[in-house]
Amino acid sequence: MSTSEFGTFSFLLLLLLATAQLCGYLFTRLRQPRVAGEILAGILLGPTILGRLAPVLSHAIFPASGGAGDPGKYEVVLSFLYNLGLLLLMFVSGAETKGLFGRENRREVIWLGSVGTVLPFLLALLIAPLLPLGLVTGPANQRTALLLVIGIAVAVTSIPVISKILHDLQILHTRFARLILGVAVLEDVMLWAVLAVATALAARVALPLRQVAIHVGATLLYFAIGLMVLPAVLRRVSHTRWNPLARTAPIAYIIAILLAYTAIAAALDVSLVFAAFLAGFGVVVADLEELSDALAVVSRISFSVFIPVYFAVVGYRLDLRNFPLKMLVVFLVLAGLVKLVSAGMGAKLAGFGWLDCTNLAITLNARGGPGIVLASVAYDAGIINAQFYTTLVLVAVLTSQAAGAWLDFVLRQGWPLLSPQTPAPPTETVGDRPALARGDGLTSG
């Protein structure tokens, strides 16, 4: 990349960041989730708005790719920033959810994960054949793969978007957040395995059951080691004499931990989203006090720069100029009802009150990033067509926006996210509102 090209890209990045921050600020003033504004910023700068109203200006700011097989230099760098923002979001989310899979939450997470995920997946498989699937089928023409994708789309919960919403509302440290993220992480382990089967079927080759089993086993093993073994390893490595990095450059050391986790995950073909989440989780569970200030700096920089750019790129990649409104409304209503009822049932069976069930169900209904990734993977594999791809992306955005708006409303009404009657650890006996003496105020502004 030449100096001139770098200067042009710097302006592009400035435009993305400034627009994301401005739209995010405006959405917070309107009592809406900041993340929705950041996604809107990308939509405004993408082909939907700017590309349609001022195509010449759009092409000047966002040059087209270099041709077939060449995504172009700008696209490559944008993709890097997109993935870096995603990894940092998951890393910081993991670092702020200590005790995510503690014993006090295990029963609730199991109920929410089993009923709230498995039930909507199975219901989607039963209902989908009754729908006109020919309207959404892609060129692969693989009915079984399509049914699996629809099941995942109905059952999935977003880790990245929900993490951002919980952070923006300053409730990422609460038991409510730990329950939501615990369920979302377990959901994704199951649903990514199903997606691997769907894409294998779409490839019209013999289903590599052995490879799928190895992949799922590697993911579960990595997940277990990341939760139970690596935090102790980090604690030991961080205090050894031959590791001056932790003492002299703690910020660099934290980033090195993130890169090490993701590199190992990539070698094992494990989702990098899980790796980044476990890296942050490992750092905080290792309880390294000397890294707390550095971790706070990484968090501030991530949420100020890289994470807004990530969500802006998500919006930029959406093309909403032609989308089937009827398909959107039908799938949004059906998928939303199935997920809300299933998650609510799981919460009720776990012993939560009605308001608790409502809060948990609406939050778990947010599909966000994984919903968008699912749409992209299924579309690239030829499982779904362009219209259904757009529908899945819009459903992911709308359900996430609805979840953020509801949580903001609940907090502003002064209602607890989890009622006082809900069984909780001794330190959280006043609903889900941590004591102010601990610096855990629940302001949402």
What residues does 137 pair with on adjacent strands?
384
What does the alpha-carbon distance between residue 99 and residue 177 come to, in Å, rounded to a whole number?
A: 11
Which whole number is the average pLDDT over 249-263? Answer: 91
Please give the domain boundaries of the chain with CATH numbers for all domains: 93-299+329-425 (1.20.1530.20)
Is 99 exposed, middle or buried (CB count within 10 Å of its CB: 0-12, 13-18, 19+)? Answer: middle
What residues does 384 pair with on adjacent strands?
137
What residues does 67 pair with on adjacent strands?
70
First to last CA, the chain: 41
| Residue 444 in this model has a pLDDT that exceeds 80 | no
Task: Report the b/e string of 417-440 with b at 16+ CB within 10 A.
Answer: bbbeebebeeebeebbbbeeeeee
* Residues 232 and 286: beta-carbon distance below 8 Å: yes
Give the least confident one: 269-278, 372-381, 390-399, 422-431. Answer: 422-431
Quote the pLDDT of residue 41: 92
Which of 308 and 440 is assigned the larger pLDDT? 308
Which whole number is the average pLDDT over 401-419? Answer: 87
| Neighbouring C-beta atoms of residue 60, cutoff 10 Å | 10
Quote the pLDDT of residue 26: 92
pLDDT above 70 as % of the chain:
82
What does the alpha-carbon distance between residue 171 and residue 191 come to, in Å, rounded to a whole number?
A: 26
What residues does 70 pair with on adjacent strands?
67
Angle, helix 3-29 to helix 73-95, in steps of 10 degrees: 40
Give the least confident one: 33-37, 104-108, 196-200. Answer: 196-200
Placement of tokens 């919006």 in the chain? 315
Angle, helix 368-380 to helix 175-202, in steps of 10 degrees: 0
Quote the pLDDT of residue 301: 92
Most confident of 208-212, 384-388, 437-441: 384-388
Most confident of 13-17, 174-178, 400-404: 13-17
Write the pLDDT tens digit of every residue in 292-344.
Answer: 888 889 989 998 999 899 888 878 877 777 777 889 999 999 999 999 999 99
